[in-house]
Structure 1
Amino acid sequence: MNEPGGRKCRPPRFEHAEWPYEPNFRRVNGWRMHYIDEGAGAPVVLLHGNPAWGFLYRKFVKPLTAAGRRVIVPDMIGFGLSEKPVREQAHTLDGHIANLTSLLRQLDVRDATMVCHDWGGPTGLGFALSNTDRVRALVIMSTWAWPLPPAEFHERIFPWRIMHAPVVGPYLLGRHNALAGRGMYLSVVDRKKFAAMAQGIYEGILPDPGSRLLTWTWPRWIPLDESARGFARFEWLERELKKSELPTLLVWGKEDEVFDHKTFATRFKELLPHAEGPELVTGRHFLQEDSGAEIAQKINRFLDRIEGRQS
């Protein structure tokens, strides 16, 4: 691929038996965004959060494409094979929504199902609620979309509020990659399997402190009080969700301690009373690692129902 000005650039690649997909890149708001685009049919857009990347959805791609669906999995700017800006100002919530919007409009994505997890929740819902003509349905997993109150997890001094500290957060998450390492390890159920099969990949895709900037700046956008930087955007998300009539499926990890299903899935159900679920699966916060294939089939069945396909 070529960078602006004609300078040739060799895009990054990642080779793994469970991720045999051709890398694609588009320029979004000046940054190089990586995504995979597999299969044909109505698109399903799979959105990750912090500190993951598209690899989190490796168990989803084949079941969804085999069911006759197009699967698009972007790496958010700052993660995976996408460009990783080294300025905190590049990582506003509105900026990430704009990046996703640019990508999906360039790909002329329509009739899409947005699968939203963690920061892929406010980002994907931000796109969906401002581009309703391009969206067919929502799948919401272990996330949130309102300003307050935060999760009980996010009110704890350790580990969460310490990430907001100006020195300790960058030291632990930047220099020592604590979120991609220890953080993800503690956020799955089958930790032995995760350590053997995936943990090194999440750590290795963020090889140095400069590449890990978003792991410690994104947490600071979770509102803890009304002075938070993202407060107005989350107010808008909550307000627009209440108006939404998009078919919606809620899927939650039974063991999730970050966004527990009793609090957060219940709140989504209040905002979207027509939503199906919550359907509970084995999984802590990164439920895709423990129940990826099962969730993919739940998505297929949900879409079959709303599309009027025969089971």
Structure 2
Amino acid sequence: MEYLRTPDECFDALPDFPYQANYLNVDDCDGGQLRVHYLDEGPSDGDIVLLMHGEPSWCYLYRKMIPVLVGAGLRVIAPDLPGFGRSDKPSKRSDYTYQRHVNWMQSALDQLDINNITLVCQDWGGLIGLRLLAENSDRFVRAVAANTMLPTGDHDPGQAFLDWRKFSQEVPEFPVGGIISGATTTDLSPEVVAAYDAPFPDESYKEGARQFPTLVPVTPDDPASEANRAAWGVLTQWNKPFLTAFSDSDPITKGGDAVMQKLIPGCQGQQHTTIVNGGHFLQEDQGEKLAEVVAAFVAANPLT
């Protein structure tokens, strides 16, 4: 598999991002390897929080949350999906499939050899992260879902998503930083917008960002539908603590929290919250607040 690797200098002087880069290699499913970037912050013996980002962001999205979580004594691991951030970017859109991303993150999970994980997922971080949880249920002990879902294609995805998907395929230049900025309730500085653009020096680096909206299952016969239904089979039996922390201003995932609270047994008795003044990328708008919610959730549900 051919891939692009964003030059390191593109990530120089990112605002409020003093974190050390870590790397591992995963099988690219085509006879080669891809380099995957991840952050690993906090005490090595702390409860592990796995922060999964979505489309078209990268682990920079979690920079406001990491200090709060580490301050609570937690170990934070935040990978960049292949195609995003500092991870390698396969150069053809056909290289990107839902299953391959699950496989790549499964390999990362295996290599990191981590257990007793609290999953925190948003956007595609949930589409991939909830699959990982369902397929490695013994490794995960808690989950926090924030503005995400695990679609099977059996339900209408909603006009807001369909409009987004249409835009993503038709816009001549894919404006990554502008997309992030447009899906927040706060005004992002030019420096922060540039940090979201940093992984993509030109359009050739954006094949994954372009492809991801088309990979969301919107029909019952989608290639990912069966595996996602199987994952729901696990989630509807999941009795470990599961928290929803959706924002109040996201048209894409609105109502998904109610579905999870109804279907996932582990949601019962949890202090579900609505993050006020947060857009789709609530980590940008209310990152510190979301981190406080996650830290309190971990503390309230200790390992037994």
TM-score normalised according to structure 2 size: 0.88
Do the aligned residues in 1 keep the contact of 2:135 with 2:231 (CA within 8 Å)? Answer: no
- Tell me which amino acid in the other structure corresponds to 2:99: D
Partner of 1:151: 157
Question: Are 1:37 and 2:40 counterparts?
Answer: yes
Per-residue deviation, residues 204-253 of structure 1 (Å, max 9, x unmatched): 32121121111121111112222323222222222221111121111011
Looking at both structures, which has the greater relative contact order when contacts are Cα pairs under 8 Å and sequence separation is at least 6?
A: 2
Shift of the alpha carbon at 1:160? 2.8
RMSD of equivalent CA atoms: 2.1
Do the aligned residues in 2 keep the contact of 1:185 with 1:195 (CA within 8 Å)? Answer: no
Give the paired residue count.
287
Partner of 1:6: none
Question: Are 1:235 and 2:229 counterparts?
Answer: yes
- Tell me which amino acid in the other structure corresponds to 1:216: R
- Tell me which amino acid in the other structure corresponds to 1:184: I
Distance 2:17 2:165 in 1: 31
Shift of the alpha carbon at 1:154? 4.8
Q: Secondary structure at the match of 1:233?
A: helix
- Tell me which amino acid in the other structure corresponds to 1:247: P
Question: Are 1:177 and 2:182 counterparts?
Answer: no
Question: Are 1:267 and 2:263 counterparts?
Answer: no
Residue correspondence of structure 1 range 62-211 to structure 2 within 5 A: 62-147=67-152, 148-154=154-160, 156=162, 158-161=163-166, 163=168, 169=169, 172=171, 175-178=172-175, 180-190=176-186, 192=187, 194-211=188-205
Per-residue deviation, residues 6-46 of structure 1 (Å, max 9, x unmatched): xxx99736343411111011001111000111112121110
Do the aligned residues in 2 keep the contact of 1:258 with 1:285 (CA within 8 Å)? Answer: yes
- Tell me which amino acid in the other structure corresponds to 1:304: A
Structure 2 residues not aligned, in runs of 5+:
28-32
Per-residue deviation, residues 108-163 of structure 1 (Å, max 9, x unmatched): 1111111111001021111111112211110111111131314313564x343354
Distance 1:71 1:231 in 2: 30
Partner of 1:222: 216
Per-residue deviation, residues 146-184 of structure 1 (Å, max 9, x unmatched): 31314313564x343354xxxxx1x52xx5123x13322
Partner of 1:212: 206
Mean alpha-carbon deviation: is it higher for 11-20 or for 47-56? 11-20
- Tell me which amino acid in the other structure corresponds to 1:26: L
Do the aligned residues in 1 keep the contact of 2:38 with 2:80 (CA within 8 Å)? Answer: yes
TM-score normalised according to structure 1 size: 0.86
Do the aligned residues in 1 keep the contact of 2:157 with 2:218 (CA within 8 Å)? Answer: no
Partner of 1:23: 21
Distance 1:240 1:50 in 2: 25
The counterpart of 1:280, out of the listed 255, 274, 278, is: 274
Structure 1 residues not aligned, in runs of 5+:
1-8, 164-168
Q: Secondary structure at the match of 1:133?
A: coil
Distance 2:303 2:288 in 1: 22
Question: Are 1:301 and 2:296 counterparts?
Answer: yes
Do the aligned residues in 1 keep the contact of 2:147 with 2:256 (CA within 8 Å)? Answer: yes
Do the aligned residues in 1 keep the contact of 2:15 with 2:191 (CA within 8 Å)? Answer: no
- Tell me which amino acid in the other structure corresponds to 1:182: G
Q: Secondary structure at the match of 1:33?
A: strand
Do the aligned residues in 2 keep the contact of 1:77 with 1:96 (CA within 8 Å)? Answer: yes
| Inter-CA distance 199–101: structure 2 relative to 1 (3 Å threshold) | same
Distance 2:69 2:25 in 1: 26
